[in-house]
Amino acid sequence: MIINITNWEQQVEQYLAQGNYVQAASLYEQAIAQEPDVASYYWHLGLLLLLQGQEVEAQMTWMLPMTEVEEEKLQDHTNELLKVLSTEAERREALAEYSLAWTIRQHMREINPSDIQNLLTIIQISLRLEQFEGTELSEWEVIEIFKFTNSEVLSTSFLQELLQTIIEKTPNYPVLLDLIEVCFSYISEPADYFFIVLPAVMKIAHTYKLPALAARILELYFRLDCQNIEVLRQLAIFHQDSGNYSQGIETAKLCYSQSEALPDRFFAVHLLLRGLMTAGGYWEEICLTCQELENILKIFIKSQPLELDEIRTLRLLTPAFAIPHIKDSPVEFRGIHNQIAQIFQSNIQAIAQKQSQKYSQRNIAINSVLISTQKLKIGYISYAFRQHSVGWLARWLLKHHNQDKFEIHTYFVNYKLADDFLQNWYVNHSLHPHKLGINGLEIAEKIYQDEIDILVDLDSITLDISSEVMALKPAPIQVTWLGWDASGIPAIDYFIADPYVLPDSAQDYYTEKIWRLPNTYIAVDGFEVGVPTLHRNELDIPSDAVVYLSAQRGYKRHPETTKWQMKIIKEVPNSYFLIKGGAEEGAIKQFFYKIAEEEGVECSRLRFLPQDPSEAIHRANLTIADVVLDTYPYNGATTTLETLWMGIPLVTRVGQQFAARNSYTMMMNAGITEGIAWTDEEYVEWGVRLGKDEAIRQQVVLKLKASRQTAPLWNGKQFTRDMEKAYQQMWQSYIEGK
């Protein structure tokens, strides 16, 4: 049959769009029969055979014109074929038909193995299809070819899209780091890539929990953009979070030296403090830096009003987190912090003015008659619904909630794309789990749309995103519980406490109304406990020795408390001190050795323990201790609960601030007063007494074991009833005041 030359190609396009490759190929076969010397017909016919999965036949079809053409025209034929294949590959990519595009491009690679744009596109598609194996880079010599490619070959848009893809996939394929480094060498305008690189590395660091990898990528980018202060900020955080403390400290110092605006300066000081305190041991520098932070905060308050963008506003609250670790002065601290929190809220509400006003109008419009007969909607918001101190403690409240009276929603801020069994527990035990990102405005809108009655924040100022949500007030009643001390944000109505964790005078300097539960502000039904892996003989400690233990992170180490601990070790014969907790090994050892020598304690009586592989094993290993020595002015919280649950006597120093009274309230709610010290001297006295007097030590152990059956601290169900009663009373007070 003779085809109509004028319109048959239009018919081919229709068949192609319909996926009718057989009919389209038939037309090309007829065209070749009529005009066998037209090479382009062979290119298209071979493509159609390829789309049908007939790869060998496609290659043979392409070879036919190649074998008959003169050598000087061979390259022209090759270029024409590649253009046909490239056009179809791009069309398939636009249709998101990546498997077909990948197949076509693989044949292009066989024809021209040095086409860097095609090689990079194949890798990009392979990553999208999760078919990348990592060996392609070396097998195809991609890095070598890329290095010798003219920068004009790759468009900016292509390079940006490629970088975004490979950075996001790097956690699964670390080999891509080499490719990222080469990509960066082709960047002439770093600012065009900053908002691609930064979100990607933050996701790697915080969502995938790979801060070292994020730091490596950002370091490569920093070579191009070394004046970018935001890069320095994030680099400091990534280095610190990955345990590269010295580099994290140096990066924070560089960040501070380059910060000019007041908000930038005090956030840079915060980063420096964060690094110093996490590393542990840098006490003199910590004190000087903390004083610098307080001075800058006071200057900032006096300098108001200042116009701040959203990013700078979000960074206002977190620096204050450091101060209670260093000194127990809640009146002074909250006097500064509450003013910063007010500035924070004012700026957030100004930035999202329409959103904030909409929430206020809804709260006013609530019908108190109708809502009195409905279930209360309780929303819990946190980034810590995972393997985190808050995650371990909050689960009993969710487990025991009365679902007939309360509709419970859990808002997972920055939901982790990682294997975390505790996060999975929260998802599976929540009737309304909401897996969210890191956009505070979007999270607030979700809470508003869900019509939450009482929103409970478990993060306080430890996460700026949660603080932003609370400042917008998407729920008519807002509460802070568990995660830290009160945030001071005016939009928060209540702070959950108990009779012990705050002194009676605390309401004088808290902006939130302190809601004291009848017994305890936290209770658990227990903890998972593994098999101990720590034994005295392996630590070269005699079986009859008295073993003291302190298991806290480096930022809770205070020289004054450490001096008390050394006095105890010195006074108790045949005693040893075990020290465990995340910190820079060299710095923390030097810190303890120096104080031990000053107090006349042999350094051979100190043992530094590595981190345990799991929380369950950590709890089991606590039993190596006869007595646990608490930190001050920032007590243990989860560690105190674990210590008491394992039946180990504890010595704690009670202070005035929330962070200095956690162990006190927990011991009281476990029915234990032995070990509670109200002065520095009492701390030492209790430590010595519990070490020397085995009878009183055993008495405490027996009381703790018995307390599991009777004490408020171990009754998660009763605690939940107390919280629910508080919610009902808060709501009743709210609707009566409308």
In a domain, 584, yes or no: yes
Choose one of 204, 239, 270: the last residue of a domain.
204
**4 has pLDDT over 70:** no
Tell me: the pLDDT tens digits for 274-300? Answer: 999 999 889 999 999 999 999 999 999
Q: Which residue has the tokens 């409970």?
A: 456
* Residue 280 falls in which region: left (phi positive, over 0), alpha (psi -120 to 50) or beta: left
Query: What total number of domains does the chain contain?
Result: 4
Choose one of 204, 231, 266: the last residue of a domain.
204
Q: Where are the alpha helices (DSSP H) in 227-279?
A: 229-241, 245-257, 262-279
Q: 367 falls in which pLDDT band (50, 70, 90)?
A: low
Tell me: the pLDDT tens digits for 378-403? Answer: 999 999 999 999 999 999 999 999 99
Same domain, 332 and 419: no
In a domain, 272, yes or no: no
What is the reported pLDDT for 6?
A: 58
What is the reported pLDDT for 103?
A: 95
How far apart CA 205 and CA 87 sit, in angstroms, is 38
- The two structure tokens encoding residue 556: 């809770």
What mean pLDDT do residues 487-507 have? 98
Answer with the residue of higher pLDDT: 17 or 452: 452
Same domain, 710 and 638: yes
What is the reported pLDDT for 633?
A: 97
Same domain, 500 and 626: no
**SS3 for 153-191, per residue?**
HCCHHHHHHHHHHHHHHCCCCCCHHHHHHHHHHCCCCCH
Same domain, 504 and 646: no
Tell me: the pLDDT tens digits for 402-425? Answer: 999 999 999 999 998 778 999 999
What is the reported pLDDT for 16?
A: 87
DSSP state of 206: I
**686 has pLDDT over 60:** yes
For residues 680 and 671, the answer to whether their CB atoms sit within 8 Å is no
What is the reported pLDDT for 419?
A: 84
- 206-210, 339-343, 371-375, 555-559: range with lowest mean pLDDT: 371-375
What is the reported pLDDT for 497?
A: 98
Q: Where are the alpha helices (DSSP H) in 572-679?
A: 585-598, 615-621, 638-645, 662-668
Q: 67 falls in which pLDDT band (50, 70, 90)?
A: confident
Tell me: the pLDDT tens digits for 229-266? Answer: 999 999 999 999 999 999 999 999 999 999 999 989 98
Q: 371 falls in which pLDDT band (50, 70, 90)?
A: low
Same domain, 552 and 498: no
Q: 373 falls in which pLDDT band (50, 70, 90)?
A: low
Same domain, 542 and 496: no
The CATH number given to whatever domain includes residue 416 is 3.40.50.11380
**490 has pLDDT over 80:** yes
Same domain, 508 and 620: no
How far apart CA 88 and CA 100 sit, in angstroms, is 9
What mean pLDDT do residues 484-488 have? 96
DSSP state of 601: -
Same domain, 458 and 580: no
What is the reported pLDDT for 151?
A: 73
- The two structure tokens encoding residue 434: 């909401």
What's the gap between Cα 582 and its chain centre?
Answer: 17
Same domain, 150 and 41: yes
For residues 656 and 634, the answer to whether their CB atoms sit within 8 Å is no
The CATH number given to whatever domain includes residue 152 is 1.25.40
By residue range, what is the domain housing residue 65? 8-204
Q: 446 falls in which pLDDT band (50, 70, 90)?
A: very high
Tell me: the pLDDT tens digits for 124-160? Answer: 999 999 999 989 999 999 999 998 888 777 888 999 9
The CATH number given to whatever domain includes residue 572 is 3.40.50.2000
**663 has pLDDT over 70:** yes
How far, CA to CA in Å, does 414 sit from each of 136, 168, 311, 463?
Answer: 33, 16, 17, 10
Mean confidence (pLDDT) of the chain: 93
**25 has pLDDT over 80:** yes
